[in-house]
Structure 1
Amino acid sequence: MASIVANLPSPLTTSPKFTVSATEERQSRVAIVVKATGESSESSTSLSIVKSVQNVWDSSENRLALIGLGFAAVVAVWASANLITAIDKLPLIPSAFEFIGILFSSWFIYRYLLFKPDREELLQTVKKSVSDILGQ
């Protein structure tokens, strides 16, 4: 049995290690077993989100306001889901919204995605909006 340890770079983890074992079965078959020994990208991302929430909670002076904002966010999601369900039950409205969505999607594709200069313009607009939001 041969074992190989490979360090593969990843943008989310510092240096994950994988153990690859190859064993020969019979004469022409080779079985390869891979075991991950580092954190997965999903778990490290979720851990960073948890850590950032903990940092906000620890550095906050007014925790009651944070609890209120969290409760308001839950209520807003619940209310919007109920509003969408109520609109969906109306007989003509869902078809009209679907038609409007198809028209807008067609216009967006024609305006921004069909030709290369328009795609570059869209990319510049998105980059400018992101820099405005992040304050860079």
Structure 2
Amino acid sequence: MNTVLARSAFTARAAAQARGVTALRPRAAPVAPRVSKARNVARRAGEESSVDVESIIADAKASWDKVEDKTTAIIYVVGGIVALWLASTVVGAVNSVPLLPKLMELIGLSYSAWFVYRYLLFKSSRQELVADIEDLKKKITGGN
């Protein structure tokens, strides 16, 4: 059986050369060096990460302790998760309607172009945008 395959491969190469086409030999698939990657992962696992998990947890606990009305905060978080799920469902439904996704992309691209022209293209409008953002941050945080 192997001789049949070898003959057919030889005749295919010979026929390709007769037509003036050089047949390329199939290359062997490269083998990834898995041992070095495994060693690298093991070595890095022993190193300290740049993220201090304990300080993040301590900050989260301190922030949670500052919250006076914990039930309202939990309701807001659950409401946000439900709103995110609902928005995902609506986007999935809109995405299944023919031509509507392309129309939405066109609307998004048009709005992005308008936003760049209105707020980002010129220096004075960028300064206006920064001032608007600072005002919004003051309103949200209640700062002066």
Q: Which of 63, 81, 90 is the matching residue for 2:97?
A: 90
Q: How has the CA–CA distance of structure 1 residues 66 and 123 changed in structure 2, closer, same or farther, with 3 Å as cutoff?
A: closer
The letter of the residue matching 1:130 is K
1:103 corresponds to:
110
Work out whether 1:115 is the aligned partner of 2:122: yes
Q: How has the CA–CA distance of structure 1 residues 47 and 121 changed in structure 2, closer, same or farther, with 3 Å as cutoff?
A: same
Deviations 1:27-84 (A, max 9, x none): xxxxxxxx659x736763454234323543xx44x74x55544433332222221111
Work out whether 1:125 is the aligned partner of 2:112: no
Larger helix proportion, structure 1 or 2? 2
How many equivalent residue pairs? 97
Alignment of 1:19-58 (within 5 A): 40=51, 44-45=55-56, 47-56=58-67
**Alignment RMSD (CA, Å):** 2.8
Q: How has the CA–CA distance of structure 1 residues 84 and 47 changed in structure 2, closer, same or farther, with 3 Å as cutoff?
A: farther
2:7 corresponds to:
none
Say which one has the larger Rg. 2
Q: TM-score, normalised by structure 2?
A: 0.54
Q: How has the CA–CA distance of structure 1 residues 52 and 114 changed in structure 2, closer, same or farther, with 3 Å as cutoff?
A: same
The letter of the residue matching 1:48 is D
> Which ranges of 4 or more aligned residues in structure 1 deviate by more than 6 Å?
none
Q: Which of 86, 98, 103 is the matching residue for 1:79?
A: 86
Distance, in Å, in 2 between the alignment partners of 1:67 and 1:124 is 32
Distance, in Å, in 1 between the alignment partners of 2:127 and 2:58 is 35
2:18 corresponds to:
none
Distance, in Å, in 2 between the alignment partners of 1:66 and 1:118 is 36
For structure 2, which runs of at least 5 residues remain unmatched after alignment? 1-46
Highest RCO, 1 vs 2 (Cα 8 Å, sep ≥ 6)? 1
1:22 corresponds to:
none
The letter of the residue matching 1:113 is L
For structure 1, which runs of at least 5 residues remain unmatched after alignment? 1-34
